[in-house]
Amino acid sequence: MKRFIFGKRNGIHIVDLEQSLTKLQEALDFLYEIVISGQRVLFVGTKKQAQQIIKETSAQCSQPCVTQRWLGGTLTNNTTIRSRIKRMREIEGMIQKDNMASLPKKEASAIRHELEKLHRNLLGIADMGQLPGALFVVDINREAIAVKEAKRLKIPVVAIVDTNCDPDPIDYVIPGNDDALRAIRLVATAAAERMQKAHAEYSRVAAELARKKEAEAQESRAARAAATAESTEKAEAAKAAAKPKRKPDEEARPAPGASRARAKKTDGAPTAQAPASEPAPNEAAATAPAEPASEAKTE
Protein backbone atom coordinates (compact mmCIF):
# COMPACT_ATOMS: atom_id res chain seq x y z
CA MET A 1 0.00 0.00 0.00
CA LYS A 2 3.03 2.30 -0.02
CA ARG A 3 2.06 3.85 -3.35
CA PHE A 4 -1.34 4.86 -1.94
CA ILE A 5 -0.04 6.42 1.30
CA PHE A 6 0.31 10.18 1.45
CA GLY A 7 2.33 10.31 4.67
CA LYS A 8 2.69 9.22 8.26
CA ARG A 9 1.94 11.18 11.43
CA ASN A 10 2.14 9.97 14.99
CA GLY A 11 2.39 6.37 13.77
CA ILE A 12 -0.76 6.68 11.67
CA HIS A 13 -0.60 6.32 7.88
CA ILE A 14 -2.61 8.84 5.87
CA VAL A 15 -4.19 7.69 2.61
CA ASP A 16 -3.73 9.81 -0.51
CA LEU A 17 -7.28 11.02 -1.16
CA GLU A 18 -6.55 12.11 -4.73
CA GLN A 19 -5.67 8.54 -5.64
CA SER A 20 -8.67 7.31 -3.65
CA LEU A 21 -10.98 9.51 -5.71
CA THR A 22 -9.43 8.35 -9.00
CA LYS A 23 -9.57 4.68 -8.03
CA LEU A 24 -13.13 5.06 -6.77
CA GLN A 25 -14.22 6.46 -10.13
CA GLU A 26 -12.56 3.56 -11.97
CA ALA A 27 -14.26 1.05 -9.68
CA LEU A 28 -17.67 2.71 -10.14
CA ASP A 29 -17.30 2.62 -13.94
CA PHE A 30 -16.41 -1.05 -13.77
CA LEU A 31 -19.40 -1.86 -11.55
CA TYR A 32 -21.66 0.06 -13.92
CA GLU A 33 -20.49 -2.05 -16.85
CA ILE A 34 -20.99 -5.26 -14.87
CA VAL A 35 -24.56 -4.44 -13.88
CA ILE A 36 -25.62 -3.04 -17.26
CA SER A 37 -24.45 -6.28 -18.89
CA GLY A 38 -26.98 -8.22 -16.81
CA GLN A 39 -24.60 -9.65 -14.18
CA ARG A 40 -24.80 -9.20 -10.43
CA VAL A 41 -22.38 -7.86 -7.82
CA LEU A 42 -22.00 -9.69 -4.50
CA PHE A 43 -21.48 -7.38 -1.50
CA VAL A 44 -19.31 -8.89 1.23
CA GLY A 45 -18.89 -7.21 4.61
CA THR A 46 -19.05 -9.32 7.76
CA LYS A 47 -17.30 -7.00 10.20
CA LYS A 48 -19.53 -5.26 12.69
CA GLN A 49 -19.00 -1.76 11.28
CA ALA A 50 -20.01 -2.83 7.77
CA GLN A 51 -22.89 -5.27 8.32
CA GLN A 52 -25.82 -2.86 8.42
CA ILE A 53 -24.37 -0.57 5.73
CA ILE A 54 -23.76 -3.46 3.32
CA LYS A 55 -27.25 -4.83 3.94
CA GLU A 56 -28.90 -1.47 3.24
CA THR A 57 -26.87 -0.59 0.16
CA SER A 58 -27.23 -4.03 -1.40
CA ALA A 59 -31.00 -3.87 -0.92
CA GLN A 60 -31.01 -0.39 -2.48
CA CYS A 61 -29.48 -1.64 -5.74
CA SER A 62 -31.11 -5.13 -5.65
CA GLN A 63 -27.84 -7.07 -5.30
CA PRO A 64 -26.96 -10.10 -3.13
CA CYS A 65 -24.91 -9.74 0.04
CA VAL A 66 -23.09 -11.65 2.79
CA THR A 67 -23.10 -9.88 6.15
CA GLN A 68 -22.85 -12.60 8.82
CA ARG A 69 -20.25 -15.20 7.91
CA TRP A 70 -18.63 -16.24 4.67
CA LEU A 71 -19.32 -19.95 4.28
CA GLY A 72 -16.38 -21.77 2.75
CA GLY A 73 -17.33 -22.85 -0.76
CA THR A 74 -19.97 -20.17 -1.31
CA LEU A 75 -18.55 -19.65 -4.78
CA THR A 76 -16.48 -22.78 -5.45
CA ASN A 77 -19.04 -25.25 -4.05
CA ASN A 78 -22.17 -23.55 -5.27
CA THR A 79 -24.07 -26.86 -5.65
CA THR A 80 -24.03 -27.49 -1.90
CA ILE A 81 -25.03 -23.91 -1.19
CA ARG A 82 -27.97 -24.28 -3.60
CA SER A 83 -29.11 -27.44 -1.79
CA ARG A 84 -29.11 -25.62 1.56
CA ILE A 85 -31.08 -22.75 0.05
CA LYS A 86 -33.58 -25.31 -1.27
CA ARG A 87 -33.91 -26.72 2.23
CA MET A 88 -34.54 -23.21 3.55
CA ARG A 89 -37.34 -22.69 1.03
CA GLU A 90 -38.89 -26.04 1.99
CA ILE A 91 -39.03 -25.08 5.67
CA GLU A 92 -40.52 -21.69 4.77
CA GLY A 93 -43.20 -23.49 2.74
CA MET A 94 -43.97 -25.77 5.70
CA ILE A 95 -44.45 -22.77 7.97
CA GLN A 96 -46.65 -20.97 5.45
CA LYS A 97 -48.87 -24.04 5.01
CA ASP A 98 -49.04 -24.49 8.81
CA ASN A 99 -47.65 -28.02 8.63
CA MET A 100 -45.58 -27.45 11.79
CA ALA A 101 -48.66 -27.83 14.01
CA SER A 102 -48.82 -31.57 13.33
CA LEU A 103 -45.19 -32.13 14.39
CA PRO A 104 -43.99 -32.76 17.94
CA LYS A 105 -42.86 -29.65 19.79
CA LYS A 106 -39.25 -30.75 19.98
CA GLU A 107 -39.03 -31.47 16.25
CA ALA A 108 -40.81 -28.22 15.35
CA SER A 109 -38.40 -26.26 17.57
CA ALA A 110 -35.39 -27.92 15.90
CA ILE A 111 -36.74 -27.05 12.45
CA ARG A 112 -37.31 -23.43 13.45
CA HIS A 113 -33.79 -23.22 14.84
CA GLU A 114 -32.47 -24.65 11.56
CA LEU A 115 -34.44 -22.05 9.60
CA GLU A 116 -33.01 -19.20 11.71
CA LYS A 117 -29.49 -20.44 11.05
CA LEU A 118 -30.12 -20.76 7.32
CA HIS A 119 -31.63 -17.26 7.21
CA ARG A 120 -28.66 -15.84 9.03
CA ASN A 121 -26.10 -17.32 6.64
CA LEU A 122 -27.92 -17.67 3.30
CA LEU A 123 -30.79 -15.20 3.10
CA GLY A 124 -28.64 -12.56 1.40
CA ILE A 125 -27.64 -14.88 -1.46
CA ALA A 126 -30.88 -16.90 -1.72
CA ASP A 127 -31.89 -15.17 -4.98
CA MET A 128 -28.44 -15.38 -6.56
CA GLY A 129 -29.14 -17.99 -9.22
CA GLN A 130 -25.64 -17.95 -10.72
CA LEU A 131 -22.13 -16.84 -9.90
CA PRO A 132 -21.75 -13.05 -9.56
CA GLY A 133 -19.95 -10.92 -12.09
CA ALA A 134 -17.90 -9.18 -9.39
CA LEU A 135 -17.35 -8.91 -5.64
CA PHE A 136 -17.48 -5.73 -3.56
CA VAL A 137 -15.49 -6.41 -0.38
CA VAL A 138 -14.90 -4.45 2.81
CA ASP A 139 -11.71 -5.47 4.68
CA ILE A 140 -9.90 -7.99 2.47
CA ASN A 141 -7.93 -9.35 5.45
CA ARG A 142 -11.12 -10.50 7.16
CA GLU A 143 -12.66 -11.73 3.89
CA ALA A 144 -9.52 -13.52 2.67
CA ILE A 145 -11.42 -16.75 1.88
CA ALA A 146 -13.93 -14.87 -0.28
CA VAL A 147 -11.12 -13.15 -2.19
CA LYS A 148 -9.32 -16.48 -2.76
CA GLU A 149 -12.47 -18.14 -4.07
CA ALA A 150 -13.12 -15.20 -6.40
CA LYS A 151 -9.56 -15.28 -7.73
CA ARG A 152 -9.80 -19.02 -8.26
CA LEU A 153 -12.93 -18.56 -10.37
CA LYS A 154 -11.49 -15.45 -12.08
CA ILE A 155 -14.19 -13.18 -10.66
CA PRO A 156 -13.05 -9.52 -10.43
CA VAL A 157 -12.85 -8.04 -6.93
CA VAL A 158 -13.57 -4.43 -5.97
CA ALA A 159 -12.48 -3.68 -2.41
CA ILE A 160 -11.89 -0.93 0.12
CA VAL A 161 -8.22 -1.52 0.95
CA ASP A 162 -6.72 -0.13 4.15
CA THR A 163 -3.06 0.61 4.79
CA ASN A 164 -2.53 -2.72 6.55
CA CYS A 165 -3.64 -4.79 3.52
CA ASP A 166 -1.96 -6.19 0.42
CA PRO A 167 -3.64 -4.68 -2.67
CA ASP A 168 -2.03 -7.06 -5.20
CA PRO A 169 -4.87 -9.69 -5.31
CA ILE A 170 -7.47 -6.95 -5.82
CA ASP A 171 -8.49 -5.96 -9.34
CA TYR A 172 -9.98 -2.57 -8.45
CA VAL A 173 -8.44 -1.05 -5.32
CA ILE A 174 -10.22 1.75 -3.46
CA PRO A 175 -7.71 3.09 -0.88
CA GLY A 176 -9.54 3.99 2.30
CA ASN A 177 -10.20 3.31 5.95
CA ASP A 178 -12.19 0.08 6.20
CA ASP A 179 -12.79 0.59 9.93
CA ALA A 180 -14.58 3.95 9.73
CA LEU A 181 -18.36 3.91 9.39
CA ARG A 182 -18.45 7.11 7.34
CA ALA A 183 -15.80 5.90 4.90
CA ILE A 184 -17.58 2.58 4.36
CA ARG A 185 -20.95 4.28 3.93
CA LEU A 186 -19.54 6.85 1.49
CA VAL A 187 -17.99 4.28 -0.83
CA ALA A 188 -20.82 1.73 -0.54
CA THR A 189 -23.51 4.35 -1.18
CA ALA A 190 -21.69 5.68 -4.23
CA ALA A 191 -21.39 2.15 -5.60
CA ALA A 192 -25.05 1.41 -4.89
CA GLU A 193 -26.25 4.58 -6.64
CA ARG A 194 -24.15 3.84 -9.72
CA MET A 195 -25.36 0.25 -9.85
CA GLN A 196 -28.95 1.39 -9.38
CA LYS A 197 -28.66 3.59 -12.47
CA ALA A 198 -27.10 0.72 -14.39
CA HIS A 199 -29.88 -1.63 -13.30
CA ALA A 200 -32.55 0.83 -14.46
CA GLU A 201 -30.79 1.22 -17.81
CA TYR A 202 -30.47 -2.53 -18.17
CA SER A 203 -34.19 -2.99 -17.41
CA ARG A 204 -35.12 -0.39 -20.02
CA VAL A 205 -32.87 -1.96 -22.67
CA ALA A 206 -34.14 -5.44 -21.80
CA ALA A 207 -37.75 -4.28 -22.15
CA GLU A 208 -37.02 -2.72 -25.54
CA LEU A 209 -35.29 -5.89 -26.70
CA ALA A 210 -38.22 -7.96 -25.49
CA ARG A 211 -40.68 -5.76 -27.42
CA LYS A 212 -38.48 -5.92 -30.51
CA LYS A 213 -38.25 -9.71 -30.31
CA GLU A 214 -42.01 -9.97 -29.87
CA ALA A 215 -42.60 -7.76 -32.92
CA GLU A 216 -40.13 -9.81 -34.97
CA ALA A 217 -41.83 -13.01 -33.82
CA GLN A 218 -45.23 -11.66 -34.86
CA GLU A 219 -43.86 -10.64 -38.27
CA SER A 220 -42.27 -14.05 -38.78
CA ARG A 221 -45.53 -15.78 -37.82
CA ALA A 222 -47.48 -13.58 -40.25
CA ALA A 223 -44.92 -14.28 -43.00
CA ARG A 224 -45.13 -18.01 -42.38
CA ALA A 225 -48.93 -17.90 -42.47
CA ALA A 226 -48.87 -15.93 -45.76
CA ALA A 227 -46.35 -18.36 -47.27
CA THR A 228 -48.47 -21.33 -46.20
CA ALA A 229 -51.61 -19.81 -47.71
CA GLU A 230 -49.79 -18.99 -50.94
CA SER A 231 -48.36 -22.51 -51.24
CA THR A 232 -51.83 -23.98 -50.61
CA GLU A 233 -53.35 -21.82 -53.36
CA LYS A 234 -50.60 -22.83 -55.79
CA ALA A 235 -51.10 -26.51 -54.99
CA GLU A 236 -54.86 -26.24 -55.55
CA ALA A 237 -54.32 -24.38 -58.83
CA ALA A 238 -51.82 -27.00 -60.04
CA LYS A 239 -54.21 -29.80 -59.08
CA ALA A 240 -57.05 -28.12 -60.97
CA ALA A 241 -54.84 -27.62 -64.04
CA ALA A 242 -53.72 -31.27 -64.02
CA LYS A 243 -57.30 -32.63 -63.87
CA PRO A 244 -58.48 -33.86 -67.44
CA LYS A 245 -61.40 -32.02 -69.00
CA ARG A 246 -64.42 -33.95 -70.39
CA LYS A 247 -65.50 -33.67 -74.03
CA PRO A 248 -69.08 -32.61 -74.84
CA ASP A 249 -70.13 -36.08 -76.09
CA GLU A 250 -68.65 -37.68 -72.96
CA GLU A 251 -70.60 -35.27 -70.81
CA ALA A 252 -73.87 -36.20 -72.63
CA ARG A 253 -73.15 -39.94 -72.57
CA PRO A 254 -74.21 -41.55 -69.29
CA ALA A 255 -71.60 -43.21 -67.23
CA PRO A 256 -71.24 -46.97 -67.91
CA GLY A 257 -71.71 -47.80 -64.27
CA ALA A 258 -75.00 -45.95 -64.14
CA SER A 259 -76.37 -47.72 -67.29
CA ARG A 260 -75.43 -51.15 -65.90
CA ALA A 261 -77.11 -50.30 -62.62
CA ARG A 262 -80.29 -49.30 -64.50
CA ALA A 263 -80.24 -52.48 -66.56
CA LYS A 264 -79.84 -54.64 -63.48
CA LYS A 265 -82.73 -52.89 -61.88
CA THR A 266 -84.96 -53.45 -64.97
CA ASP A 267 -84.06 -57.17 -65.32
CA GLY A 268 -84.38 -58.03 -61.69
CA ALA A 269 -87.87 -56.45 -61.16
CA PRO A 270 -90.39 -58.05 -63.58
CA THR A 271 -93.71 -56.28 -64.16
CA ALA A 272 -96.76 -58.13 -62.80
CA GLN A 273 -100.05 -57.90 -64.71
CA ALA A 274 -103.25 -58.09 -62.74
CA PRO A 275 -105.44 -61.09 -63.88
CA ALA A 276 -108.77 -60.31 -65.49
CA SER A 277 -111.57 -60.67 -63.00
CA GLU A 278 -114.21 -63.33 -63.86
CA PRO A 279 -117.79 -62.19 -63.68
CA ALA A 280 -119.83 -63.45 -60.74
CA PRO A 281 -122.72 -65.93 -61.45
CA ASN A 282 -125.40 -63.42 -60.63
CA GLU A 283 -123.74 -60.89 -62.81
CA ALA A 284 -123.56 -63.50 -65.70
CA ALA A 285 -127.25 -64.30 -65.36
CA ALA A 286 -128.12 -60.70 -65.32
CA THR A 287 -126.18 -60.02 -68.40
CA ALA A 288 -127.38 -63.11 -70.43
CA PRO A 289 -129.87 -62.24 -73.29
CA ALA A 290 -133.57 -63.05 -72.53
CA GLU A 291 -135.30 -65.79 -74.78
CA PRO A 292 -138.37 -64.80 -76.78
CA ALA A 293 -141.73 -65.56 -74.99
CA SER A 294 -143.31 -67.21 -78.08
CA GLU A 295 -140.77 -70.03 -78.16
CA ALA A 296 -141.43 -70.90 -74.54
CA LYS A 297 -145.13 -71.30 -75.12
CA THR A 298 -144.73 -73.60 -78.23
CA GLU A 299 -142.75 -76.12 -76.20
Picking from 130, 153, 169, the residue at the C-terminal end of a domain is 130
Closest residue by Cα to residue 24 from 35, 14, 16: 16
Picking from 181, 199, 227, the residue at the C-terminal end of a domain is 227
The reply to whether 6 falls in a domain is: no
**Pair type for strands 65-66 and 157-161:** unpaired
| Residue 46 belongs to domain spanning | 17-72+133-227
Confidence of residue 160 (pLDDT cuts 50, 70, 90): very high
- Based on the domain organization, do 153 and 222 belong to the same domain? yes
pLDDT score for 242? 76
The reply to whether 244 falls in a domain is: no
- Based on the domain organization, do 125 and 143 belong to the same domain? no
The reply to whether 237 falls in a domain is: no
Picking from 114, 130, 146, the residue at the C-terminal end of a domain is 130
- Based on the domain organization, do 102 and 145 belong to the same domain? no
pLDDT score for 249? 54
Whether 157 contacts 170, CB under 8 Å: yes
Whether 174 contacts 189, CB under 8 Å: no
The reply to whether 254 falls in a domain is: no
Beta strand extents in the chain (DSSP E only)? 5-9, 12-15, 41-44, 65-66, 134-138, 157-161, 172-175
- In terms of Cβ atoms closer than 10 Å to its own Cβ (0-12, 13-18, 19+), residue 136 is buried
Confidence of residue 67 (pLDDT cuts 50, 70, 90): very high
Confidence of residue 7 (pLDDT cuts 50, 70, 90): confident
pLDDT score for 248? 55
138-152: average pLDDT: 94
pLDDT score for 212? 83
pLDDT score for 148? 95
- What's the CATH code of the domain at 145? 3.40.50.10490
> Considering the entire predicted model, what is its pTM?
0.69
pLDDT at 271 over 60: no
189-218: average pLDDT: 87
Closest residue by Cα to residue 137 from 66, 39, 192: 66
Q: How many domains does the chain have?
A: 2
- Based on the domain organization, do 126 and 151 belong to the same domain? no
